Chains A and B, each alone.
Chain A
Amino acid sequence: MTLRVRGLTIDHGAIRAISNATFNIPQGSITAVIGANGAGKSTLLRTISGLKRATSGNILWEELELHRLQTEQIVRAGIVHVPEGRSVVTELTVAENLALGGIWRSRNNKSDVLAAIAEVYELFPRLGERKKQRADTLSGGERQMLAIGRGLISRPQLLLLDEPSLGLAPLVVEQIFQTLAELQKSTGMTILLVEQNAMSALRIASQGIVLDQGQVVIADDARAIMNDTALRYAYLGY
């Protein structure tokens, strides 16, 4: 399953957030999307997951035209978005937040939902120790783990992650990135990882896409981007 984006343009009223973007996300790998604040990274993910409508262009998931579908249908097609800002339902407990990610498929796959929940607790033992705790009492790192965990319960084929490292201590960031890399290897899922933290993201990614003011300026091998000092200086600032 390859995600193909063709001539995608997205506007917020008068502001053009993404203009004429074309790229592929190959199956079974991590692709890092990097770019400065306001480059359009979150807008891109929100459009793939159907929260926002594109102005023009196509988003194809094999034969499926995602740009015509509702968010709920896109989830059912195997694409799960974990948005910016540790998005969990703060009024619910850890266990309830995870259960939420499985409701849509629990009628037919009850046992697999339970298995997925058990796997998340194994992946993030800190969550397992806090099942009954309300999400608003979790630390930032735990909350981010819960947000990612909620996404995993849906058993995504494509996971869209928006800045999982935002505001977390370097050690926690390293831990989450390591977990993501291992998770990708063990499940074979595709991960589209949006990050400010360009170097950490590129290190675990195989491809990189650099966005600059809504334009895809580079779509290349992650290692090539890391090694190109001129490019790094121009778009990543170091």
Chain B
Amino acid sequence: MNLINTLIAGVSIGAIYSLIAFALILVWRSTRVVNFAQAGQAAFSTYVGLSVEKAVGNYWLALIAAIIAGVLVGAFVEVVIVRFIVKRATSAATATVAPVIAMLGLLGIFQGLMGLIWGGDYQPYPTAFSRDGISIAGNQIPFSRFDLFVLLTVVVAMSFAAVIFQRTSLGLSMRAAAFAPEVTRLAGIRVSRIRTLGWAFAGGAGGLAGVLVAPTTFIAPNSFDLLLVFGFTAAVIGGLDSLIGGVLGGLALGIGLSVVTGYLGGSYTFMTAFVLLIIILLVRPQGILGARGARRA
């Protein structure tokens, strides 16, 4: 495998890490909670997509259903659970620990629930496009039409998010609420509603990521746990507060891990991500890409 091929092979999975990082950062910025349940939310949304796919046999309807399910589950989790945990956990000790435990617990509940509804087996998820590598001048590259679709979808989704964040009142409210909730409330904005919307958007991004990755990983109640670790690593590379940083972090991680897999073998991939995560947390907790300039978006 030559280097260029190895790099190309990491792009589309990197784009999916970007989506997960985006979802985690959005929630972190609005609520200061690392949403470990995101893996469960994304899997749940993907199962909803799969059910629609099985019922009507339309990939696109299934994709939309998964995104909508993600949005609704995200909003539900914030309104019904997170809001109360954050409100109750007022002492310094509980405020940091309680949300972490609660989100892990919620992940467990999601996985149990999915097992009951859809069973514990790995199920295949269909694709809309061929997963064979595209041939350029007779050479097949490790980048399929489906990879191209994944990449373009993520680019479109992130562009859509960028327009909302930079060009609309809603986006302005979300950015302000993330960095200065009290000032934002004093400006007359219903910050709790904005927070719910943040969780909803994040949920939608997770649902989309689930549908895009499921043809590769298959879908089972816990099949996205690794994706969460990679998405979190990407978010940390980006500094956890910067959406742009997280998206770039996802791409960098996808490509970087592809190089590791290509040259050292697949058994090193997961270990590398973890080592990277720990090194960044120790050496540069503000993130590699989390420079001040990137924080705005």
Tell me the A residues contacting B by CB distance below 8 Å.
Answer: 49, 51, 71-72, 75-76, 80-83, 87-92, 96, 99-101, 103-106, 134, 150-151, 154
Contacts and interface: CB of A to CB of B under 8 A. Distances in A.
B169 A103 contact: yes
Nearest to B185: A71
Given A91-B295, A92-B175, A106-B169, A75 B187 contact: yes
A150 B187 contact: yes
Given A89-B184, A91-B296, A92-B172, A103 B179 contact: no
Q: Looking at chain B, what size class is its interface with the partner chain? A: 10 to 19
Contact of B188 (A82, A88, A101): A101
Interface string B272-297: 00000000000000000000000110
A100 B182 contact: no
Contact of B175 (A71, A83, A91, A154): A91
A64 to B, nearest CB: 16
Contacts of B176: 89, 92, 96, 100
27 contacts: A51-B182, A51-B185, A51-B186, A72-B185, A72-B191, A75-B187, A80-B186, A83-B182, A83-B183, A87-B182, A87-B183, A88-B180, A88-B183, A89-B183, A89-B184, A90-B180, A92-B176, A92-B179, A96-B172, A100-B172, A100-B176, A100-B187, A100-B189, A103-B187, A106-B169, A150-B183, A154-B188
Interface string B188-201: 11110000000000
B45 interface: no
Given A51-B182, A88-B183, 14 more contacts: A72-B185, A72-B188, A75-B188, A87-B180, A89-B176, A89-B180, A90-B179, A92-B176, A99-B172, A103-B172, A103-B173, A103-B189, A104-B189, A106-B169
B165 to A, nearest CB: 11
Interface of B: 169, 172-173, 175-176, 179-180, 182-191, 295-296
A80 to B, nearest CB: 7
A33 B170 CA distance: 36
B238 to A, nearest CB: 15
A100 B187 CA distance: 6
The residue among B182, B188, B191, B296 with the most chain A CB atoms within 10 A of its own CB is B188
The 3 closest A-B pairs by CB, nearest first: A104-B188, A75-B188, A89-B180
Nearest to A51: B182
B29 to A, nearest CB: 10
Nearest to B168: A103
B188 to A, nearest CB: 3
A136 B271 CA distance: 40
A80 B187 CA distance: 8
Nearest to A134: B296
Nearest to A147: B183
Contacts of A100: 172-173, 176, 183-184, 187, 189
A91 to B, nearest CB: 5
A104 B186 CA distance: 11
A200 B258 CA distance: 66
A87 B180 CA distance: 9
